[in-house]
Structure 1
Amino acid sequence: MLTISQFSKIAHITTKTLRYYDEIQLLKPAEIDPHNGYRYYRSNQMATVFLIQKLRSYECSLEEIKKILVDPALLKSTLERKQAEISEKMVTYASLQALIDKDLATLSDGGLYMQHQEKIERVDSPQMTVFSIRRILNVQDFSELLTEVFEMIAQEGMIPVGPPLSIYHSPEYTPEHYDMEFAVPVAEANYKTYELAPRPCAKLHYKGNYERLTEVYMQLSQWVEEQQLEIVGPAMELCVTDPNTTSPDENEVTIYLPIE
């Protein structure tokens, strides 16, 4: 048996961490002296420590690790899931790297945030008959809303007649419970559709990586302020291209920001 200090030194893990693992029942000592409360560990428990450390390096949560220690059969599926998550992050970081390269290239031309100004117009938003679903959801689940809308359109036998649009109704950014609407222009006008009326808007057609949309909205807000106007409604994004089949830098979206 090893004292907590001896075990800590050999396994390269702090005694503070070992006590915490004991507290959350991730790794319990082999024995605890009932008289003085000293913790003792067996040498074979180091294998568990090494597994925990390896899984932590793979960005597994302690809760995920706890489940694996209870049921080792979960290890394979967990590693496969983490592998997929890391692959997704690599794609994201590659995209961010490309954006940084472009930002560095534009610094000499007056900064990062001026290239969209000349594309902003004052227009009426398009009038269209749409089928839509509006829901408060986590922004990460937006793709599920898209799928639901298209499934409903197919079930109802409706005919899409234009690119879909997203409408963001929340007055502030609350990603865990965001008020979002996804709409598709359709040929049919019935009780399941409604007429999206035209209204004065600031319009900007953007082509490029969606990672820059925050920058685009900043430019729109700046333009509205310079024109001594006010934003009076939710932003609408008309998705000209399908991001699932279009390379990130080739995506196109038309943004309408209601103004008066």
Structure 2
Amino acid sequence: MGDSILDVMEQLVPIGRFSRMTRLSIKALRHYDRIGLLQPAEVDPSSGYRYYRLTQTRTAEAIRLLRGVDMSLDDIATVLADDTAPDVVDKLLDRHRERLAESVRVQQRRLTTVQRLITGKEPLVPYDVTTKTIDPITVVSIRRHTDKAGISTAIGESMHALYATVMGSAAELAGAPTVLYHDVIDEEQSGDLEVALPIAEPAGPIAVDGDMVRRTVDGGMVATTHHHGAYDEIDGAYHVLAGWIAEHGHTPGFPARELYLNDPSEVPEGEQLTEVQWPFG
């Protein structure tokens, strides 16, 4: 009598055959073994050759599918773990769906920009640099340390707390909401930023607590330009300003500033307007 289906499914197959069956490369399978994501059923002690059961193809297909939609290996491990609660899996998948949706939105904005360049509706370098002297300002602010991925969250949370404090006090707003970058924050390094609301002087009493402070931000000479478009596409403005400062023999200073000149809740993302100021000496 032939083997039952269960017997067949429990048979061992070498890594090469398992790779062809699952469309996962041998290199990937070895990596998944090292990190404990998909370990072979047996390893030959003399040769080190890996063998897998056919029942493991289900796990392999799940990994291949989730990697295909750019889910991280750490999240995949959590999704596939036997002790992960279903609601945790749902939250991970929903969070990843939001990341993919944001990626689509970013790519769509880039396509729109390219189309505008093709039709001549937008210059290749849409930044004009001017210089001016800015006065010292009094602000209520919160300073945060963050990496590039956390910038939006740090600004949003801090801005919400600042508005709640200022609006609940006798102080009056006296300028555009501002973020001061005390360090360069990019893919390579994290740093400090300071979210600030300018207030009029003499300001009425205002209670600050926790990380919130009331202080004077120095003025001085800045190179400045305007960015029209989504906040996460503002890097080009900094590149142009840095180039202008270097070309004119100046030394860039800190903090650089972003002043948000319209309300992002009232305009489309592509119409957000930001003034970027970079001090120099």
Q: What TM-score do the two structures reach when normalised by structure 1?
A: 0.80
Show the counterpart of 1:102.
116
Q: Which runs of 5+ in 2 are unaligned?
A: 1-10
Matched, 1:56 2:77: no
Relative distance call for 1:162 and 1:43 in structure 2 (3 A) is same
Kindly provide the CA deviation profile for residues 233-257 of structure 1, in whole angstroms up to 9, marking residues without a partner as x: 4322211123354312211122223
Q: Aligned-pair RMSD on alpha carbons?
A: 3.1
Give the SS at the match of 1:180: strand
Question: How far off is 1:92 after superposition?
Answer: 0.7
Q: Which runs of 5+ in 1 are unaligned?
A: none
Relative distance call for 1:163 and 1:41 in structure 2 (3 A) is same
Contact 1:125 1:200 in 2 (8 A): yes
Aligned residues: 254
Give the SS at the match of 1:237: strand
1:132 to 137, 141, 152: 141
Show the counterpart of 1:177.
190
Q: What is the alpha-carbon distance in structure 2 between the residues aligned to residue 205 and residue 19 of structure 1?
A: 50
Please tell me the residue identity of whatever aligns with 2:280.
I
Show the counterpart of 1:199.
220
Deviates more, 1:180-189 or 1:28-37: 28-37
Show the counterpart of 1:238.
259
Relative distance call for 1:186 and 1:69 in structure 2 (3 A) is same
Give the SS at the match of 2:267: coil
Matched, 1:21 2:42: no
Relative distance call for 1:129 and 1:98 in structure 2 (3 A) is same
Show the counterpart of 1:91.
105
- 5 Å-filtered alignment, 1:25-174, equals 25-33=36-44, 37-71=48-82, 73=86, 74-106=88-120, 112-113=124-125, 115-117=126-128, 120-142=129-151, 143-155=153-165, 157-158=168-169, 159=171, 160-170=173-183, 172-174=184-186
Q: What is the alpha-carbon distance in structure 1 between the residues aligned to residue 23 and residue 59 of structure 2?
A: 13
Please tell me the residue identity of whatever aligns with 1:89.
S
Deviates more, 1:184-193 or 1:45-54: 184-193
Relative distance call for 1:52 and 1:132 in structure 2 (3 A) is same
Question: How far off is 1:163 after superposition?
Answer: 1.6
Identity fraction in percent = 27
Relative distance call for 1:116 and 1:194 in structure 2 (3 A) is same
Contact 2:148 2:185 in 1 (8 A): no
